[in-house]
Amino acid sequence: MKLRIYIIIIIVVCLFSCGRRDNSVYNPSLLSLENFLEIMPEKTLREILDIDTASFKEADKALYYFLLFKAKVLSSDSIQIPIDKSNLSLAHFTEERDSVRLCLLYYYLGRIHFDNYAFLRANSSYNQAEKFVGKEIRTLFNIKIGEARIYHFKMMYDMEEIFLERALYIAGELRDSVYMAEALHKFAELRIDENQFSQAKDYLDKALVLLPKNNNILRAEYNKDLARVYLGMNVPDTALFYIDAALRYAHPYELERSCNIVKGSIYMKMRRYKDAESVFMKNIESLPLKDKYDIFFLMSLMKKEKKEFQAAYEYAEKSIRCRDSLEMNNKVGYISNLNAFQEHERQRKRIDQMNMELSERELAYYRLAIILSLLLILVISFVFRVKHAKKKVELLLKEKKLAVVKLRNSRREAEIKYLHERHERESIEIDSLNQSLEYYKRLNALTVPILMKSQNSQGAMHLKKEEWDIIIQNTNACFNDFTFRLKEAYPQLSHVLHPKSFVSNFWGAVQKLGSLFFLSKPVFKKQPKF
């Protein structure tokens, strides 16, 4: 039974071990870079870009592009990466059944597509990532936040709130204060866009309490949004306090740019136009097109408030040109994203087909393995049953042999007992006969002389009463009151016991047995015991 259990365990382990992911197939240098990515994303990204992949095998190329996409998401670098190379990584991880890396890769692709305003592709990537999320609950939180951002840009605030609630629930399940703070921050951004500044402030206050003090980047983001809240509540002094606090923590350049736009807007609210213009026009030429559009639009409003209509008109024109350029870029980007999305859908269908074929092959393999396992178990069971039956037959034969031996021993013991009892009975009979002979000898010794003495010349016997009494007494003594027992048993034979008749008869008997009465030794001997 134990052997059967061990065999079953071995089979199960062999079946399930085939799906285990093995990092040993990848280049060790790539694996080391993967460990450093979250610590130093910008530096690691540069190191990844410097790697020559010409000599890489397929598995290493798949991991290389996976790391490239991850570094792009984690770093603030605006470098363009070959997004089409993702198909190589997706195909490899799908074949290897590496669900962890598949989930992360789809999530990174969703982030990259979102930054490129390819919302359809982003949403599709997030949906694919959720299929492989498994126990990666933290990744699921990020997916829900990403989906909420898509609905935010679409201004579908009801749907955004649903996904934010799911993200907040996941953060609560994880008991992660950073994740809870980030979910509350997203709720605050939603309320700001809805002009519900009081609720937004409550969310941000709770988020700042939960946020660790050493997380400067998120602290800058939260203070910047608090500044926006107080600006919306028409409290510019408090707004200026929080934007200055944000700028103290705003080390990434992108965050600093967004903080400066908010600060310029606060100065406009405070009618500090010179300060506002100084902040707006700082490094204006190096700013992205969208930031230029926002700044030129605000400058146009500020000049209009100052009644500098010519300048207001010029800034309005600049703002319109930036908007047109943005729309043109968006159109080009939309067409590019649409084509890319179609290609992505074709690639996804091919990957799904590969997954289906791989699943069918694996299913066939598992079916074959299960059938073979069952056959093996049946064979083992049959062998065990045959062995058990053989042992049972051997045991029965052994028991029968023992029973035969016991029967033989019993019969021998019975025979020995019978012979012993027979020997004892013969001994008793011999003793009795010997005793009778002794009685006959004694009777012979007592009566014969008397009888011989009483016999006359003609052979007749004349016994006196005293002699007759002596004979009777001796006979009774030798034969246990023979005469008395004879009278009692046969009263009609009383004449036989008359002295004359008895003597004549008794004398004939004595003569016939004379030879026996004069024997010196017993005729019967005891047999030896067995």
252 Rama class: left (phi>0) / alpha (psi -120 to 50) / beta? beta
On whether residue 398 sits in a domain, the answer given is no
Among 72-81, 326-335, 429-438, the range with the most confident prediction by mean pLDDT is 72-81
Say if residues 296 and 322 touch (Cβ distance below 8 Å): yes
Range name among 28-32, 80-84, 292-296, 352-356 with the lowest pLDDT average: 352-356
* 494 DSSP 8-state letter: G
Place 209 in a pLDDT band, splitting at 50, 70 and 90. Answer: very high
Q: What range defines the domain where residue 36 resides?
A: 23-135
What is the Cα–Cα distance from 421 to 427, expressed in whole angstroms?
A: 10
On whether residue 142 sits in a domain, the answer given is no
**Average of per-residue pLDDT across 13-28:** 56
What is the Cα–Cα distance from 122 to 110, expressed in whole angstroms?
A: 4
Question: How high does pLDDT run on average in the chain?
Answer: 78
On whether residue 47 sits in a domain, the answer given is yes
**In residues, how long is the chain?**
530
Look at residue 516 in the predicted model and tell me its pLDDT.
44
On whether residue 92 sits in a domain, the answer given is yes
**Average of per-residue pLDDT across 480-505:** 62
On whether residue 100 sits in a domain, the answer given is yes
Count how many domains the chain has. 1
Any idea which residue has 């259990």 for tokens?
Answer: 5
* 526 DSSP 8-state letter: P
Look at residue 391 in the predicted model and tell me its pLDDT.
84
Place 319 in a pLDDT band, splitting at 50, 70 and 90. Answer: confident
Range name among 36-45, 107-116, 372-381 with the lowest pLDDT average: 36-45
On whether residue 108 sits in a domain, the answer given is yes
pLDDT at residue 437 is higher than 90: no
SS3 461: strand
What proportion of the chain, given as a percentage, has pLDDT over 90? Answer: 22
pLDDT at residue 514 is higher than 50: no
What is the Cα–Cα distance from 425 to 428, expressed in whole angstroms?
A: 5
What is the Cα–Cα distance from 236 to 233, expressed in whole angstroms?
A: 8
Look at residue 3 in the predicted model and tell me its pLDDT.
47
Look at residue 436 in the predicted model and tell me its pLDDT.
64
Any idea which residue has 């009892």 for tokens?
Answer: 421
- Of 17 and 371, more confident: 371
What is the Cα–Cα distance from 384 to 377, expressed in whole angstroms?
A: 10
**In Å, how far from its chain's centre is CA 211?**
38
SS3 455: strand
Chain segment 363-418, per-residue pLDDT in tens? 777 788 888 888 888 888 888 888 888 888 888 888 888 888 888 888 888 888 88
User: What's the sign of the alpha-carbon dihedral 360, 365, 367, 368?
Assistant: positive
* Phi/psi at 513 (5° precision): -95, 15
pLDDT at residue 331 is higher than 80: no
Look at residue 335 in the predicted model and tell me its pLDDT.
52
pLDDT at residue 78 is higher than 60: yes
On whether residue 90 sits in a domain, the answer given is yes
Look at residue 409 in the predicted model and tell me its pLDDT.
85
What proportion of the chain, given as a percentage, has pLDDT over 70? Answer: 72
Look at residue 345 in the predicted model and tell me its pLDDT.
57
On whether residue 188 sits in a domain, the answer given is no
Say if residues 19 and 97 touch (Cβ distance below 8 Å): yes
What is the Cα–Cα distance from 143 to 123, expressed in whole angstroms?
A: 10
